[in-house]
Amino acid sequence: MTTIEPEITIEVHLDADSAAAMARDVRLGLSAEFKELAPKYFYDDRGSRLFEQITELDEYYPTRAERGILADRSPEIVAAAGDPATLVELGSGSAAKTRHLLSAMRDAGCLSTYVPVDISEEITHDTAQCLVDEYPGLEVHGLVCDFEHHLERIPERSGSRLIAFLGGTIGNLYPDARREFLARISGLLEPGDRLLLGTDLVKERRRLEAAYDDAGGVTAEFNKNVLAVLNRELGADFDLDAFEHVARYDAEAGRMDIRLRSLAEQRVRLDDLDLEVAFDAGEEMRTEISSKFTRDGLEAIYAEAGLGLAGWFTDPAADYALSLAQRVD
């Protein structure tokens, strides 16, 4: 039977013109003296599959570490979050790790509503369907949108909320964008609400660089895939073999700096932008930053956004942290 379940509602707020936004973004990034592309363009179907493969690599510890923390400590996290009625998850995807939190909320007797926020309508639908089957009585209010821009669409509050932003994705934001993003989250939090944030932690260079430059070359393929995305979406003619993957830890900035290095002097055309771009031999173009945090650093970042640390949960090796934050007024 294919009826719409009464406990599921899904709202779609996608930008009418994401293609125009991408064109604008890429033109700007490739016209700058230091070329740069935004990491959100990695994730077409192939890129999303490659990222899934990355999460299973021996060298890439963050996903495993985060899953371990959620598997071991969700009851504690839920209690420290004040037994929230609603779990809002930014970038929910298939909600693989979320089930630990939902189960802990159910077991604590507080679970009422799950609000997945994701850019894929299909995945949000499928996830909602699976979850109402797995958690009898659960209401799912999905939002299909780019959460960097439509945070304020999150529905009205009924009971306290836990807003989860997992996976370490906040590491992709530069300090300015991060400050703005956290300030907007802070603005959504009411007394009793909490933010649950996943962050990778500072550690020795060797392990960080290995995590972003695996021996099997999956991350290199993932990185170069952004060029295939531009070829398809913008009529570009990047030769993927004419670039190599570069992943360096910038200890001063506290972040992985991920780039593509042009192996030769070359010109690339982007037909849809009517743009030609020149690369010098050895020139590097940034495709992603992935910031690494410390507890003190994160406390300072929270403070700037009017937030205070309300819980700190790491894996046994302290490679990765889930932190709880609340508004301090």
State the amino acid at position 328 in one-letter form.
V
Smallest distance, ligand AVJ to C-beta of residue 201, A: 12
Which positions ≥6 away from 203 have C-beta within 8 Å? Answer: 292, 319
Residue 117, number of CB atoms within 10 A of its CB: 26
Name the phi and psi angles at 266, rounded to 5. Answer: -160, 160
Q: How many CA atoms lie within 13 A of 228 on its CB side?
A: 14
Which positions ≥6 away from 2 have C-beta within 8 Å? Answer: none
**DSSP string across 20-57:** HHHHHHHHHHHHSSS-B--GGGG-SHHHHHHHHHHHTS
Name the phi and psi angles at 268, rounded to 5. Answer: -120, 135
Which residues of the chain form contacts with ligand AVJ (CB under 6 A)? Answer: 54, 62, 167-169, 171-172, 212, 219, 288, 290
Closer residue to ligand AVJ (CB): 172 or 323: 172
Closer residue to ligand AVJ (CB): 8 or 166: 166
Smallest distance, ligand AVJ to C-beta of residue 219, A: 5
Closer residue to ligand AVJ (CB): 63 or 262: 63
Closer residue to ligand AVJ (CB): 51 or 135: 51
The residue among 91, 41, 45 whose CA lies nearest residue 66 is 91
169/188 Cα distance (integer angstroms): 19
Question: Considering just the CA atoms, what is the radius of gyration of the chain in Å?
Answer: 20
* CA separation, residue 106 to residues 78, 125, 132 (Å): 10, 21, 13
- Partnered with residue 88 across adjacent β-strands are 115, 163
DSSP 8-state assignment for residue 36:
B
Cα dihedral across residues 187, 188, 189, 190: positive or negative? positive
In the block, residue with structure tokens 């932690």: 201
Closer residue to ligand AVJ (CB): 139 or 200: 200
Smallest distance, ligand AVJ to C-beta of residue 55, A: 8
In the block, residue with structure tokens 């995590």: 211
Closer residue to ligand AVJ (CB): 157 or 261: 261
Smallest distance, ligand AVJ to C-beta of residue 130, A: 22
Q: How many CA atoms lie within 13 A of 281 on its CB side?
A: 2
Name the phi and psi angles at 294, rounded to 5. Answer: -120, 165
Closer residue to ligand AVJ (CB): 100 or 224: 224
Closer residue to ligand AVJ (CB): 82 or 93: 93
Closer residue to ligand AVJ (CB): 89 or 139: 89
Smallest distance, ligand AVJ to C-beta of residue 11, A: 25
